[in-house]
Structure 1
Amino acid sequence: MITLQNTLYVMTPQAYVHLDNTTLRVDVEHEKRLQVPLHHVGTLVCFGNVLVSPALVHRLADEGKSLVLLDGFGRFKARMEGPVSGNILLRQAQHRGASDAAITLELARSCVAGKIRNSRTLLQRGARETKDQEDAGPLTTATQHLAASLRSTAGASTVDELRGIEGDAARIYFSSFNYIIKPIMRDQFQWSGRTRRPPLDKLNALLSFLYSMLMNDCRSALETVGLDPQLGFLHVVRPGRAALALDLQEEFRATLCDRLALTLVNRGQLSDGDFETREGGAVLLADKGRRKVVAAWQERKQEEITHPLLDQKMPIGLLPFMQARLLARSIRGEMVSYLPYLAR
């Protein structure tokens, strides 16, 4: 259990959340684990098999507080709200912002800058940790190029220009990816660049699978705070496309997905048997491989970090939810600009 900005996240399986006079109480195996005044809680978010008493459900509805249900993997299932809700006001602000070129540009700039900054941090770590100077040189050069791309985001005057900067930065980043793979693993995980729809090698298959799980988490986070995941600022709005979830996903790709993929590869935790090749050359994770990656993903999400802006410890899995709340505050005009998560 963790409370962030008046939102209580209950992640312990079989936890029982109920009213105790004017407090909200969380019991696990009939033992009290947490008790907080109800007026301190604005939203209750339950992951997986968490029980909520009917009395608490009614009380939350009466007081205009939200109850959000996610499955055990963090995918959004439902949100319950009483008759008084600020979400319509938030969504109105979101639609106004999407129609305002200046607001759209600034939010898109934050998304791109966060992605490039975190990508550069991953390459810098790779350059520090490699024992081969022939690998360190290209990685250092790539970080210099990404630093220039990061500076360019400040001068971009249109969203299309930002998309161009982001595309160039991604090309530089992925062209250096092979140097972070340990030499002994490069034959097994050959890398010649990012391929999608379908992925054409094992590492691309791994990245695509991790990105899809991250996408689910980002969409759930936006639904939880009441934002419309379809209406984005950087990504073009299309029917059936969760453009805002794609926007939020950008700052986490390198930190959460790419770093985990490289860890699994470099530690030899995945082998040829964890992948399968389909007709036409598409490479996908086999069932055994998916189970391994999901387990590693869930373990990674339980690790704690200190949020650099809030200076508060939290599980890594809650980062998208925290950033979604900051994004909502920015859209409402409560923050001067949106501050993406920057890995250390």
Structure 2
Amino acid sequence: MPASQTTYQVQNSLYVMTPGAYVHLDNTTVRIEIERETRLRVPLHHVGSLVCFGNIMVSPALMHRLADEGKSLILLDSSGRFKARLEGPVSGNILLRQAQYRANENKNGSITIARAIIAGKLRNSRSVLLRGARETQNADESAQLTAAAESLAASLRAVPGSPDLDSLRGTEGEAARRYFSVLGLIVKPAMREHFSLPGRSRRPPRDRLNAVLSFLYSMLMNDCRSALESIGLDPQLGFLHAVRPGRAALALDIQEEFRSILADRFALTLINRSQLTVKDFDQREGGSVLLNDQGRRAVVAAWQERKLEEITHPLLETKVPIGILPFVQARVLARFLRGDLDGYLPFLAKT
């Protein structure tokens, strides 16, 4: 996949978060009205997908137009949890999907892809910890981060010998627990009173940092799913995550490589730079913590800017926008499934 033969365009998702907003089509423009007052106009060709949080009204004409142009309408609840997705007819090469189904049914082929995904995840997670160890001014915390990174290195060495998916998932699960046990040390000391991370918690998140991570993971998963669909892969049929009705298992697979280097590192940056504060979160009954409307807007705006920043892709050996990294990996997976590559090559960030 030479860089000279590949053209990428980052099309931003349009996020609508104000309850009661009405989104409709005005010729070739998407218009957003709140209490019958126009608040935003966006040319439709600039919109890659429309993402609606909570109680948002979308006109039938816009739904049809999105479907006709292969753009997705994604419905999330007010906290950012996935609810539904509307899209047009499935596109893509049926031969590619057949190759995907055959690889999934072949235990050796399936475990090979799953091992590569977990190897990429562990190496990228280790990169985040080592970077944190280098940047901290506290020698003891640097030692803890380095020790956790070495533990992940041991898990990484165990991946090739994992005989089956259960064993591989066990290795990944233990590594994830070790990773999250020290990730909070990368938060600046001055911010830790309000942004601690005792471990990973979800459904619901129990602290502010976990709330940010869950929200970012949801947006990242949607980007991965769009990437897979854009080249004709079936996002429901994965190799690492178990297949369940309504679950985009392959999108979750691809997401694993990017969790630490895109979502986790980005969340830490938002907190350490005070782009998120206590005022951006709400405490709910039962102990759950969620981003409020102000917080979600801040994260979405920063996330969209982040996706436009460029990074050198190790396989392409050229700079590409961060927003298209999932699309590049979807193409790499497709090439492997077609037999053009000897193995699936996960995305690896620089250490």
TM-score by length of 1: 0.79
Q: What corresponds to 1:214 in structure 2?
A: 220
Q: What corresponds to 1:18 in structure 2?
A: none
Equivalent of residue 140 in structure 1, options 146, 149, 154: 146
1:40-71 residue CA offsets vs partner (Å, 9 max, x unmatched): xxxxxx65179xxxxxxxxxxxxxxxx75367
Equivalent of residue 71 in structure 2, options 57, 69, 72: 69
Matched ranges for 1:1-344 at <5 A: 5-9=5-9, 11=11, 47-48=46-47, 68-69=70-71, 78=87, 87-344=93-350
Question: Shift of the alpha carbon at 1:159?
Answer: 1.1
Relative to structure 1, the CA distance from residue 283 to residue 183 in structure 2 (aligned partners, 3 Å threshold; closer, same or farther) is same
**Matched pairs, number:** 291
Q: Which runs of 4+ in 1 moved over 3 A?
A: 3-8, 10-13, 67-72, 75-81
Q: Distance in 2 between matches of 1:296 and 1:76?
A: 24
Counterpart residue identity of residue 166, structure 1? E
Question: Shift of the alpha carbon at 1:99?
Answer: 0.3
8 Å CA contact 1:76, 1:220 repeated in 2? no
Percent identical among aligned pairs is: 60
TM-score by length of 2: 0.78
Counterpart residue identity of residue 290, structure 1? R
Q: CA RMSD in A?
A: 2.5
Structure 2, unaligned runs of 5 or more: 14-44, 50-68, 75-83
Counterpart residue identity of residue 47, structure 2? G
Q: Distance in 2 between matches of 1:231 and 1:47?
A: 30
8 Å CA contact 1:109, 1:154 repeated in 2? yes
Relative to structure 1, the CA distance from residue 236 to residue 154 in structure 2 (aligned partners, 3 Å threshold; closer, same or farther) is same
Question: Shift of the alpha carbon at 1:9?
Answer: 2.6
Question: Shift of the alpha carbon at 1:267?
Answer: 1.2
1:132-185 residue CA offsets vs partner (Å, 9 max, x unmatched): 102101001001101101110011111111101100110110001121111111
Q: Distance in 2 between matches of 1:288 and 1:12?
A: 20
1:278-334 residue CA offsets vs partner (Å, 9 max, x unmatched): 111111000000000001101110001111111121100000001001011111111
Relative to structure 1, the CA distance from residue 47 to residue 220 in structure 2 (aligned partners, 3 Å threshold; closer, same or farther) is farther
Relative to structure 1, the CA distance from residue 296 to residue 202 in structure 2 (aligned partners, 3 Å threshold; closer, same or farther) is same
Instruction: Find the residue that maps to 2:311 and give its secondary structure.
Output: strand
